[in-house]
Amino acid sequence: MNAVRPVETLHVAAGVTPAGALSGTGVASTAPVHANLVAPGLVAAAMRRGEGRLSADGAFIGVTGVHTGRSVQDKFVADDPEVTNEIWWGKVNQKLAPGKFAAFADRVRGYLGTQSELFTQDLYAGADPAHRIRVRLVTTNAWHALFARNMFIRPKAEELAGFEPDYVILHAPEMEANPETDGGRAGSTTLIALSFAKKTICIAGTSYAGEIKKSIFTVMNWLLPARGVLPMHCSANVGKAGDTALFFGLSGTGKTTLSSDPERALIGDDEHGWSENGVFNFEGGCYAKVIKLSREAEPQIWDASHRFGAVLENVIADERGHLDLEDNSLTENTRSCYPIEFIPNTVPSGMAGKPKNVVMLTADAFGVLPPISKLTPAQAMYHFMSGYTARVAGTEKGLGKEPQATFSTCFGAPFLPRHPENYGKMLANLIARDGAQVWLVNTGWTGGAYGTGQRMSIMHTRALLRAALDGSLANAEFVTESFFGLAIPKSVPGVPENVLNPRESWADKAAYDRTARDLQSRFEKNFETFASAVSDEVKAAAIRAAA
């Protein structure tokens, strides 16, 4: 656990190009390269260049234009012969011919070489030295460099001497891709291309900073399984007794919010590895969704977002810089990026022991799933492979009035370069090896579907999680619900009994039954992809869900 660090001091003077700043990138430039500036220097450069503005509290506010989220359809992977047989090709990993990647990378390098100044950051991904990689970012914008510096692990000053990257990110957000010559999606000027063989990532045509973060998460998802380490899209924290907990979940389900618990030390909020030694964070920062952020409900995230050094994406502020976190006029996906040290109760090493509890979060807008249920190992793999949540109108453009079921296998399909079965089997083996208890937690709706029911109380969710993580809930009396075969506790202090059983929270029981059967069919259809690759026990869990 640690106190907030003082503001960093500059490593190098602005305008000075250190030797080796572009080494290993292939970029040639005679312009100034601002290498490894820390927060004050990067903010000063961003303001000088007119890249954004400051909030009243000193946080930097950047606007990303038309791209306010990841450009999933514009992500491509080089079809290098060394790796082609191991990649999960399809909608997630679209093929880009090696020659096209090489030409595109050269074009990005040439573009970067013509800029009047560049910013580089040398950073780590992976808190465990045995499994970390060295990353060098080259970008045109100071605020993107600050984003990367916040999100990844910052080497000590002495570690920067002789730093040579394992992977390079060439970041040219203002450059337009040409699908005819670069091989990207027809009609799109955005292209995010990754080559595992060349260990290079090129990002063009989008200013959304999350592309930087998630490109390296994809790399970690590629590298670690071969080392016997499970990469995970989850947050993690640890209790005073040394009990580690993992929180899986898609965007909007509460990973960041629920893992930021004043009673537990935060390991990290989004990406981790599970090795034979325990859990370790991939990152050195947090990337929290802040639309409708409440100081009362989420004080740690609120405070971290209202201070110098934080980066706010697409957040609205008035003429004096006071934030309006209710304003979604640019996007519902407003974000705050800050170093993990901005959270007062963290694990400085980014590492902890083997998980005692694994929590799978879903925001079920159909109001069917219970607020918490205890899963068997077979059910755990079934729900991990399913990766379910539901989106509702207002969270994404183009959604209608009815909730839409979303299944993202392993709670992170867009970042999985290998077939999902690899990650699913690893999780099942680790749960068995380390004896972790798995819980399914619904942070979505109760008493009815979206539009009829109400959002689950965060106070109830926190009470349920406290009982799960302190071990008391495991010994409670459980009943089995009828549709998914989930074990529901009969009573939990601080939570009304009619909330615990979702059917009892609905006034119209017949409507609940119809909705539950509909959701079952959605699960069943989604799981058809994996049915031939899982054990009989997992198949039995799937059959029960579809019965």
Tens digits of residue pLDDT in 444-490: 999 999 999 999 999 999 999 999 999 999 999 999 999 999 999 99
Which bin fits 486, alpha (ψ -120 to 50), beta or left (φ > 0)? Answer: beta
Domains located in the chain, CATH noted: 33-40+66-227 (3.40.449.10), 354-546 (3.90.228.20)
Tell me what the mean pLDDT of segment 253-276 comes to: 91
Which among 34, 70, 171, 289 is annotated as catalytic? Answer: 70
The C-alpha atoms of residue 163 and residue 20 are separated, in whole angstroms, by 9
Per mean pLDDT, which of 286-290, 370-374, 398-402 is the most reliable? 370-374
- The closest of 436, 383, 443 to 411, measured between CA atoms, is 383
In the chain, the largest separation of any two C-alpha atoms, in whole Å, equals: 71
Model pLDDT, residue 16 = 53
Which among 335, 374, 391, 466 is annotated as catalytic? Answer: 335
Q: Beta strand pairing status for 265-268 and 278-281?
A: unpaired
pLDDT digits 0-9 by tens, 389-443 = 998 744 444 444 578 899 999 999 999 999 999 999 999 999 999 999 999 999 9
Q: In the structure, what pLDDT confidence band is assigned to residue 343 with cuts at 50, 70 and 90?
A: very high
Alpha helices in 335-386 (DSSP H): 377-386
Q: In the structure, what pLDDT confidence band is assigned to residue 1 with cuts at 50, 70 and 90?
A: very low
Q: In the structure, what pLDDT confidence band is assigned to residue 384 with cuts at 50, 70 and 90?
A: very high
Residue 135 above 90 pLDDT?
yes
φ/ψ (deg, to 5) at 421: -60, -35
Residue 8 above 80 pLDDT?
no
Model pLDDT, residue 399 = 43
- The residues that bridge with 402 in the sheet, in sequence order, are none
3-state helix, strand, coil in the chain (%, to 5): 30, 25, 45
User: What is the layout of strands, in order, in the sheet containing 191-195?
Assistant: 33-35, 118-125, 133-139, 167-172, 200-204, 191-195, 75-78, 94-96
The larger pLDDT score, comparing residue 11 to residue 306, is at: 306
Q: Any residues with CB less than 8 A from the CB of 162 and at least 6 apart, and which? A: 20
User: For the chain, how far is it from start to end, CA to CA, in angstroms?
Assistant: 47
At 336, the amino acid letter reads S
Q: Is 255 a catalytic residue?
A: yes
Tell me what the mean pLDDT of segment 181-186 comes to: 96
Q: Is 214 a catalytic residue?
A: yes
Tell me what the mean pLDDT of segment 214-224 comes to: 98
Tell me what the mean pLDDT of segment 278-286 comes to: 97
- The closest of 135, 152, 126 to 232, measured between CA atoms, is 126
- The closest of 276, 289, 274 to 232, measured between CA atoms, is 274
The larger pLDDT score, comparing residue 258 to residue 67, is at: 67
Which among 34, 107, 131, 255 is annotated as catalytic? Answer: 255
Model pLDDT, residue 222 = 98
Q: Over pLDDT 70: what percentage of the chain? A: 94
Beta-carbon-side half-sphere exposure of residue 302 (alpha carbons within 13 Å): 10
φ/ψ (deg, to 5) at 181: -100, -30
- The closest of 67, 119, 64 to 312, measured between CA atoms, is 64
**Other C-beta atoms within 10 Å of 332: how many?**
17
> Is residue 135 within a helix (H) or strand (E), and if so which, with residue range?
strand 133-139
Which among 190, 206, 244, 251 is annotated as catalytic? Answer: 251
Q: In the structure, what pLDDT confidence band is assigned to residue 543 with cuts at 50, 70 and 90?
A: low
At 289, the amino acid letter reads K
Q: Is 419 a catalytic residue?
A: no
Question: Is the CB of residue 153 less than 8 Å from the CB of residue 347?
Answer: no
Residue 149 above 90 pLDDT?
yes
Q: Is 335 a catalytic residue?
A: yes
Which among 207, 270, 443, 505 is annotated as catalytic? Answer: 270
Model pLDDT, residue 547 = 56
Q: At what angle do helices 536-546 and 377-386 cross, to 10 degrees?
A: 70
Model pLDDT, residue 256 = 81
The C-alpha atoms of residue 391 and residue 45 are separated, in whole angstroms, by 38
At 301, the amino acid letter reads I
φ/ψ (deg, to 5) at 205: 85, 10
Q: In the structure, what pLDDT confidence band is assigned to residue 530 with cuts at 50, 70 and 90?
A: confident
Model pLDDT, residue 29 = 94
Q: Which residue matches tokens 């999933």?
A: 72
Q: Over pLDDT 90: what percentage of the chain? A: 85
Q: Is 109 a catalytic residue?
A: no
Which among 149, 171, 214, 522 is annotated as catalytic? Answer: 214
- The closest of 38, 63, 54, 119 to 308, measured between CA atoms, is 54
Q: Is 95 a catalytic residue?
A: no
Strand, coil or helix: what is 356?
strand
For residue 279 the two structure tokens come to: 């859990």
Model pLDDT, residue 46 = 98
Which among 64, 200, 218, 256 is annotated as catalytic? Answer: 256
- The closest of 66, 331, 63 to 188, measured between CA atoms, is 66
Which among 132, 134, 171, 233 is annotated as catalytic? Answer: 233
